[in-house]
Amino acid sequence: MSTLLSARDLSKSYPANLLFEHVALHVEEGDRIGLIGPNGAGKSTLLKIIAGMEHEDEGEITRRRGLEVVYVRQDDQFKDDATPLSAVMDQVKSNDGDRIDIETRASITLSKLGFENFHRPVTTLSGGWCKRLTLACALTRDPDVLLLDEPTNHLDL
C-alpha cells in the first residue's frame, strides 16, 4: 500500500493546557483509523492539524504530493438560503479545476446518500439529514483522506 501521510513527534499546547506531545501517525491507502480519548484531550485539534487547518507547535507532517484531505466538522454549517444541491455545488465549484458538469456531479453524490429533493431548504432538514449533507459536501471533493470529527454522528450512514 501507498503512504498517504505520516506525522511524527507532534505536540500542541495552549498557554494553560498541554493537549498532546510526541504523537506519531502513519496513514496508508485503505486505512480506517479511530481516535479515542476523553473530551478536551485534543482529538479535534489533532485532526485539524492533519487537515492543515491548524499548525502544530512541534513535529512534522509529510503528505503525498497532491493529497486531498477533507475534515468533516462536528457541527454542520450551511448558508441560510442553502439547498442540498447548492451546498454540494459550492464544494465542487471550489475544488474542481476542470469544471465538469457540476450539477450532475453534485446530484449523483446526493442521490448516493439518499437525497430525493435537492431543492428543499436546508433549514427544514433534520439533524440526521444535515449530517448526510455535510458528508455529501465532503465526498464530492473526492478526498484521499476523510477525517470525521465525532464519527459516531456519522456511523449510521
Q: What is the pLDDT of residues 74-130, one digit of tens each?
A: 889 999 999 999 999 998 755 555 556 889 989 999 999 999 999 999 999 998 899
Burial of 51 (0-12, 13-18, 19+ CB in 10 A): middle
Contact indicator for 132, 88 with CB cutoff of 8 Å: no
3-state helix, strand, coil in the chain (%, to 5): 30, 25, 45
Amino acid at 101: D
- pTM here is 0.85
The closest alpha carbon to 19, from 79, 59, 77, belongs to: 59
Q: What's the confidence (pLDDT) of residue 99?
A: 56
